[in-house]
Amino acid sequence: PRIVVLAGGVGGSRFVLGVRGALRARGVDDTAAALTVVVNTGDDIWLSGVRLQPDVDSITYALAGVNDTERGWGRRGDSERVNHELQEWGAGWPWFTLGDLDLGTHLARTGWLREGLTPTDVLERMSHRWDLGARLLPMTDAEVDTMVVLDDGTRLHFQEWWTRHRATLTPTRFENPGIDTATAAPGVAEAIAAADAVLLAPSNPVVSIGPILGVPGVREALRATAAPIVGVSPIIGGKVVRGMADVCLTAIGVETSAAAVAGLYGARESRGLLDAWLLAEEDEAAAGAVAGLGIRPLVRPLWMTDAARRSALGEAALTA
């Protein structure tokens, strides 16, 4: 099979682990040939001279089994010696931690970018260190930031808004300067066109899936593919599992509910994207509303708390 997943960081990586697990359970040996992940790069940033790709790294580390599962970002068991030194110099951001092992990744990536490799090339090169069992593609090779605009007009980078202010400053909108002139990374449109199924991970609809869909050509490729498009709700029981998707959704005028997020993506039959939507047992009452949108609702357990649950969800999405 040829499966394409659109994904952000924490929710994205848990789901990609699940899809890889489900493919393995189905007897697919070469999951890297079967599974392509298009990763959000909208929250990437330059800091202390190095390029950070939080969602790319979350997925890479999770597939490699070296991720910090508690925090949801960075390497497990990392130390912070270099970070301490950067703080002493007054470099970087005092509220933002760059782990030592994680910095190795950023240095390698930045070096290759400066040698002229594209982000796609760099990610391909980085995929060889571990047996990831998936092909990772950045959504675009262009640098696209996510900026948060507050009601007094202040604009700050998503990473500052989230890691410094913990989403306590109320946003009025999110912007991705540069996205209109960006193009999808090589292979993205082709993978979507050739897919047997496209899965939208239960990632943040606004700042993870939103930027991917905002890259010119991606939405068109999704609308054109013969593959069914199946989404998984990041909202369980009317709440975010973790993170700040609720604050992001409120800012764009969308209720924090499984049905409202399905409505945001829209039904394929009415110029949206979704053929089917997996919603949690806790949200069973919303199934009718999802069906009313023209999207096939499937009530399933959506908690990805361990490998078995993740793979079961991956299998449910593949079956759908």
Provide the binding-site residues for ligand FO1, judged by CB under 6 A: 8-9, 43, 52, 54-55, 57, 73-74, 96-98, 102, 159, 162-163
On whether the CB atoms of residues 234 and 279 are closer than 8 A, the answer is no
Per-residue tokens: 89 = 């110099």
Q: Is residue 141 a contact residue for Ca ion (CB under 5 A)?
A: no
Stretch that binds ligand GDP, among 18-26, 76-84, 174-182, 228-236 (CB under 6 A): 228-236
* 9 counts as binding Ca ion under rule CB under 5 A: yes
Concatenated DSSP letters of 155-194: EEEHHIIIIITTT-SPEEEEE-TTGGG--BPTTHHHHHHH
CA atoms within 13 A on the CB side of 4: 27
Question: How many C-alpha atoms does 252 have within 13 Å on its Cβ side?
Answer: 19
240 binds ligand GDP (CB under 6 A): yes
Kindly write out the interface string for residues 44-63 of this chain, putting x where it contacts Ca ion by CB under 5 A and - elsewhere: -----------x--------
Among 3, 6, 11, 44, binds ligand GDP (CB under 6 A): 11
Binder to ligand GDP among 12, 119, 210, 272 (CB under 6 A)? 12
Minimum distance between the CB of residue 88 and ligand FO1, rounded to whole angstroms? 17
Place of tokens 């931690």: 97
| 8 interacts with ligand GDP by CB under 6 A | yes
- Closest contact distance (angstroms) between CB of 304 and ligand GDP is 3
Cβ proximity to ligand FO1: between 18 and 54 the closer is 54
Strand partners, 299: 279
Return left, alpha or beta for 90; rule: phi > 0 is left, psi -120 to 50 is alpha, else beta: left
When asked if residue 234 is in the footprint of ligand GDP (CB under 6 A), the reply is yes
Q: CB nearer to ligand GDP: give 191 or 302.
A: 302
Sheet with strand 155-157: strands edge to edge: 155-157, 147-150, 171-175
Count of residues near Ca ion by CB under 5 A: 5
Q: Nearest-CA neighbor of 195 among 170, 166, 213, 218?
A: 218
User: To the nearest whole angstrom, how small is the minimum distance from the Cβ of residue 85 to ligand GDP?
Assistant: 27
Q: Tokens 């994207």 sit at which residue?
A: 273
Q: In whole angstroms, what is the distance from residue 232 CA to residue 217 CA?
A: 22
Rounded Cα gap, residues 99 and 270, in angstroms: 46
* Residue 294 interface partner, choices Ca ion, ligand FO1, ligand GDP, none, CB cut-off 5-8 Å depending on type: none
109 touches ligand GDP (CB under 6 A): no
Count of alpha carbons within 13 Å of 50, Cβ hemisphere only?
21
Under the binding rule (CB under 6 A), the answer on residue 304 touching ligand GDP is yes
Stretch that binds Ca ion, among 90-98, 138-146, 204-212, 290-298 (CB under 5 A): 204-212
Give the rounded distance of the alpha carbon of 91 from its chain centre.
28
Among 41, 105, 208, 311, binds ligand GDP (CB under 6 A): 208
Residue 58 tokens, joined:
């979350």
Rounded to whole angstroms, how far apart are CA atoms 276 and 294? 9
Would you count residue 236 as binding ligand GDP (CB under 6 A)?
yes
Binder of residue 231, out of ligand GDP, Ca ion, ligand FO1, none (CB less than 5 to 8 A by kind): none
Q: Which residues bind Ca ion (CB under 5 A)?
A: 8-9, 43, 55, 208
